[in-house]
Amino acid sequence: MASYKFVTHWRFDAPVAEVWDEIYHSERWPEWWRAVKSVIPVTPGNDKGVGAVRRYTWRGVLPYRLTFEMRTSRVRKLSFLEGYAAGDLTGRGRWHFSVDGAGTSVRYEWEVERTRRWMQ
């Protein structure tokens, strides 16, 4: 299987609590993130969200969709989220949040493998 490691950095002119809220509540992503076609809650998880499972469908530049479920494995409110993907992609994603002056810096680490034979 082909594996990929991506690191993405964003800076937002918004307080960390607002940025956290938008990322943590991924069921709202299709409202503002064009590549995200749907986010379907599968399992709610505990009171912090650990164990929550959501099914994501993405559509990128290429003419096909990717669907995978993401299980939240660690949550440190306002600073860190981690989850494991299974489906068309398998692997781990990690969100790191930090205060950056009056705004917020976010770093996303995405380590995945493609699982469908035709994607290899």
Please give the angle made by the CA atoms of 4, 22 and 67, to the nearest 5 degrees. 40
At a CB cut-off of 8 Å and minimum separation 6, what does 86 contact? Answer: 68, 69, 71
Of residues 98, 96, 113, 115, the one with CA closest to residue 5: 113
Of residues 24, 12, 7, the one with CA closest to residue 79: 24
pLDDT exceeds 90 at position 40: yes
| DSSP SS3 for 11 | strand
pLDDT exceeds 90 at position 55: yes
Q: Are 112 and 90 in contact (CB under 8 A)?
A: yes
Domains of the chain: 3-119 (3.30.530.20)
pLDDT value of position 99? 96
62 pLDDT tier (thresholds 50, 70, 90): confident
**Distance of alpha carbon 12 from the chain centroid:** 17
Strand residue runs (E) in 18-79: 36-43, 53-59, 65-76
pLDDT value of position 64? 81
pLDDT exceeds 70 at position 1: no
114 pLDDT tier (thresholds 50, 70, 90): confident
* Helix runs in the chain, H state only: 16-24, 29-32
46 pLDDT tier (thresholds 50, 70, 90): very high
